[in-house]
Amino acid sequence: MSVLEVSRVGSCAVLTMNRPAARNALDVELRNAFAAALPAIRDDETVRAVILTGAGGHFCAGGDLRAMAAKQGDGDVFAGRNRIIALQRWFDDLVDMEKPVIAAVDGVAYGAGLSLALAADFVLASPRATFCAVFARVGYVPDMGGMYLLPRAVGLARAKALVFTARAVDAQEALDIGIAHQLVEDMPVLDAAMEMAARFEHAPAGALGIVKSVMNHAFESDRRTVYMQEAMAQSLCRESAFHQEATRRFLDKEPALYQWPQDSK
């Protein structure tokens, strides 16, 4: 069994972290598996959505402290820095993926596991889910994009409080403060993620990909830059096959190509 199971359900790619005995902690093998899997998913035009989840009742407990402790004192003061830079390379493939990414979180999403969840566009949480910026408990700072993503999800003041206290947040609080998009109580959280992913099968993939790319950088861009990106993107979308067919259907009073169910979040 691979430490990262990659499966396909219709137009959705499902990545399942599979180290249940370690609560899916990120060791070297799992990190390398992400690095190998993500570019192929990114470049596959038949993949319309991505689900990230964990096996064994947990999402991800963060970095594998046992493995990291074994390498401390090896004489290379730059090894830790190089490890984080290597993480950031494949992590950016996930954050920048121009497809909807859904995190199905059950059990713990701690440390780098919280960062993994925040990399998704939608975080669906089971009632058992708990989230924690646990780094301060072991004298670390948030890594794998944590100091970038957490303030954008919950606001700067709340992000500082979560990091400084290193306290756990349950699923309801995660929903209330903006970490989670939905609390799933009436079905397994992975099933809910599958249902959501299936809705993107007929979505305008090119348009949504551009929206994600622009919005991911909107906080670092000035208004005029975003306006320019908006103008160029809209000119592309106007000539797309999707737009032409969607307009024809609208004018002919036919069902829309893509419409989110009204009773869904």
Helix ranges (DSSP H) in 137-240: 146-154, 156-165, 171-177, 189-198, 205-216, 223-238
State the Rg of the chain over Cα.
19
Asked if the model's pLDDT at residue 71 lies above 90, the reply is: no
Q: What is the mean pLDDT of the chain?
A: 94
Asked if the model's pLDDT at residue 108 lies above 70, the reply is: yes
Question: If we measure between CA atoms, which residue out of 141, 145, 147 comes closest to residue 88?
Answer: 145
Asked if the model's pLDDT at residue 68 lies above 80, the reply is: no
The per-residue pLDDT for 165 is 98
Largest interatomic CA distance in the chain? 71
Question: What is the residue extent of each domain of the chain?
Answer: 4-198, 205-251
Please name the amino acid found at residue 14.
V
From CA 41, how far away is CA 58, in angstroms rounded?
23
Going 192 to 194 to 200 to 205, the CA torsion angle's sign is positive
- When pLDDT is averaged across residues 83-104 and rounded to a whole number, the result is 95
Asked if the model's pLDDT at residue 70 lies above 60, the reply is: no
Q: Which residues contact 88 (CB under 8 A, 6 or more apart)?
A: 144, 145
The length of the chain in residues reads: 265
From CA 20, how far away is CA 8, in angstroms rounded?
21
Asked if the model's pLDDT at residue 122 lies above 70, the reply is: yes
pLDDT tens digits along 10-22: 999 999 999 999 9
The per-residue pLDDT for 73 is 57
Residues 4-198, CATH architecture: Alpha-Beta Complex (3.90)
Chain Cα centroid distance, residue 154: 15
Residue found by looking up tokens 């064994």 in the block: 56
pLDDT tens digits along 193-227: 999 999 999 999 999 999 999 999 999 999 999 99
The per-residue pLDDT for 77 is 74
The per-residue pLDDT for 82 is 87
The per-residue pLDDT for 75 is 63
pLDDT tens digits along 144-196: 999 999 999 999 999 999 999 999 999 999 999 999 999 999 999 999 999 99
